[in-house]
Amino acid sequence: MHCCKMNLHLRKMGRINTLVVNDKSSSSPSEREIFLSFCRHGSLSGAAEELSVYASTVSRSIGNLEKKLNVSLVKKIGNKLFLTEIGEKYYENINKSFSDIISYEKKIGEYAFDEITVITSDFFLDAWVSNCISEFMKENKAVRVKVFSDDTLTRNNPTDNVIFVGFARNNKSAENMILKNITKTSVGFYTTTKNKSISREKTYSISEIMDMKTIELDTKKHKYLTTHSGKKSYDFHNSFIVVDSLAMCLEQGVRFNCVFVSCESVSKNAVEEGVIYKLKTSEELDPIYIDVIYTENLKKNPKIQEFINKIHTVGMQFYNGGGNFQ
Q: Give residues with Cβ within 8 angstroms of 230, minimum separation 6.
A: 170, 223, 286
Instruction: Give which of 40, 86, 96 is closest to 65, Cα–Cα.
Output: 86
Domain boundaries, the chain: 3-111, 115-180+292-320, 187-281
Which CATH number is correct for 3-111, 2.160.10.10, 1.10.10.10, 3.20.10.10, 1.10.150.300? 1.10.10.10
Radius of gyration of the chain (CA): 32
**105 phi/psi in degrees, rounded to 5:** -65, -35
Instruction: Give which of 283, 71, 266, 295 is closest to 175, Cα–Cα.
Output: 295
CATH of domain 187-281: 3.40.190.10
Q: CA 212: distance to chain centroid? A: 41
Do 3-111 and 115-180+292-320 agree at the fold level? no
We find that the CATH architecture of domain 115-180+292-320 is 3-Layer(aba) Sandwich (3.40)
Which residue type sits at 98?
A: F
Which residue type sits at 101?
A: I
Instruction: Give which of 314, 326, 318, 266 is closest to 133, Cα–Cα.
Output: 314
Written as tens digits, the pLDDT of the chain (326 aa) is: 344 333 323 232 233 333 333 344 446 789 999 999 999 898 999 999 999 999 999 999 999 999 999 999 999 998 899 999 999 999 999 988 888 887 777 666 655 678 999 999 888 999 999 999 999 999 998 899 999 988 777 766 777 899 999 988 877 788 889 999 999 989 999 999 999 999 999 999 998 998 898 998 776 666 678 888 778 888 777 788 888 778 889 999 999 999 999 988 789 899 999 999 999 999 999 998 999 999 998 988 889 999 999 999 999 998 886 544 33
Q: Give residues with Cβ within 8 angstroms of 196, minimum separation 6.
A: none
CA angle (295 as vertex; 292, 300 as ends), nearest 5: 105
Query: Could you tell me if 280 and 203 are in contact, meaning their C-beta atoms sit under 8 angstroms apart?
Result: yes
